[in-house]
Amino acid sequence: MAQLTDDCFAFSGPLLRLEEMERLILERISPVPETERVRLHGARGRVVAADVKAPVDLPPFDNSAVDGYAVRHADLAADADTKLTIVGRLMAGARAGLALDRGHAIRIFTGAAMPRGADTVFMQEDVTVEGSHVIVPKGLKLGSNRRLAGEDVRMGAVVLPAGTVLQAQHIALLAALGITEVAVRRRLKVAIFSTGDEVVEPGTPRAGAAIYDANRYLLAELLERLGAAVTDLGILADDADRLAAALREAATGHDLIITSGGVSTGEADYVRTAVERAGSLVFWRVAIKPGRPFVFGRRDQKLLFGLPGNPVSALVTFLMLVRPALLRWQGARQTALPAHPGVLAEPLKNDGPRRHFMRVKVDPAGRVSSAGAQASHVLSSLAAANGLVDVPPQTALPQGAAIQVLRWDRD
293/362 same-domain check: no
Which amino acid is present at 319? L
Q: How many structural domains compose the chain?
A: 3
Give the confidence band of 268 by pLDDT, cuts at 50, 70, 90.
very low
pLDDT at 6 over 50: no
Q: What is the pLDDT of residue 3?
A: 43
Q: Per-residue pLDDT for 267 more than 60?
A: no
Handedness of CA 385, 390, 395, 396 (dihedral sign): negative
Condensed to tens digits (0 to 9), the pLDDT of residues 90-102 reads: 999 987 678 899 9
Q: Is residue 164 in some structural domain?
A: no
pLDDT by residue (tens digit) across 106-116?
999 999 999 99
Query: What CATH number is given to the structural domain containing 73?
Result: 2.170.190.11
The one-character DSSP state at 264 is S
Task: Say if strands 256-260 and 189-195 run parallel, antiparallel, or are unpaired.
Answer: parallel
Residue 409 has pLDDT above 90, yes or no: no
Q: How many CB atoms lie within 10 A of CB 23?
A: 12
Q: What percent of the chain has pLDDT over 90?
A: 76
Q: Is residue 239 part of a domain?
A: yes
Which domain CATH number covers 364? 2.40.340.10
Tens digit of pLDDT for each residue in 40-90? 998 999 999 999 999 999 999 999 999 999 999 999 999 999 999 999 999
Spatial separation of the C-alpha atoms in residues 388 and 35, rounded to whole Å: 34
The answer to the question of residue 75 being in a domain is yes
Q: What is the pLDDT of residue 175?
A: 98
Q: How many CB atoms lie within 10 A of CB 80?
A: 9
What are the strands, taking DSSP E only, across 249-401? 256-260, 280-284, 288-289, 295-299, 302-307, 339-344, 348-350, 355-362, 367-370, 387-391, 395-397
Element (H, E) at 221: helix 215-225
168-227 pLDDT, tens digit per residue, is: 999 999 999 999 999 999 999 999 999 988 899 999 998 888 999 999 999 999 999 888
**Per-residue confidence band for 266, with pLDDT thresholds at 50, 70 and 90:** low
Residue 310 and residue 239 share a domain: yes
Beta-carbon contacts of 313 under 8 Å, excluding residues fewer than 6 positions away, are 290, 291, 292, 293, 307, 376
Same-domain status, 325 and 344: no
Domain shared by 344 and 268, yes or no: no
Instruction: Compute CA distances 116 → 107, 120, 328, whole Å.
Output: 14, 11, 50
Instruction: State the pLDDT at residue 300.
Output: 84
302-361 pLDDT, tens digit per residue, is 899 999 999 999 999 999 999 999 999 999 999 999 999 999 999 999 999 999 999 999
Which pLDDT band holds residue 38 (cuts at 50, 70, 90)? Answer: very high
Q: Does residue 360 lie within any of the structural domains? A: yes
CA distance 118 to 291: 65
Confidence of residue 5 (pLDDT cuts 50, 70, 90): very low
Do 224 and 319 lie in a common domain?
A: yes
39 DSSP β-pair partners:
181
Candidate from 187-191, 237-241, 361-365, 372-376 with smallest mean pLDDT: 237-241
**Residues 284, 229 share a domain:** yes
Question: Which domain covers residue 95, as residue numbers?
Answer: 63-147
Give the containing element (helix H, strand E) for 172: helix 168-176
**350 assigned to some structural domain:** yes
pLDDT at position 11: 43
Fill in the DSSP letter of residue 192: E
Cβ 340 vs Cβ 367: under 8 Å = no
The verdict on 313 and 361 lying in the same domain is: no
Per-residue pLDDT at 1 exceeds 70:
no
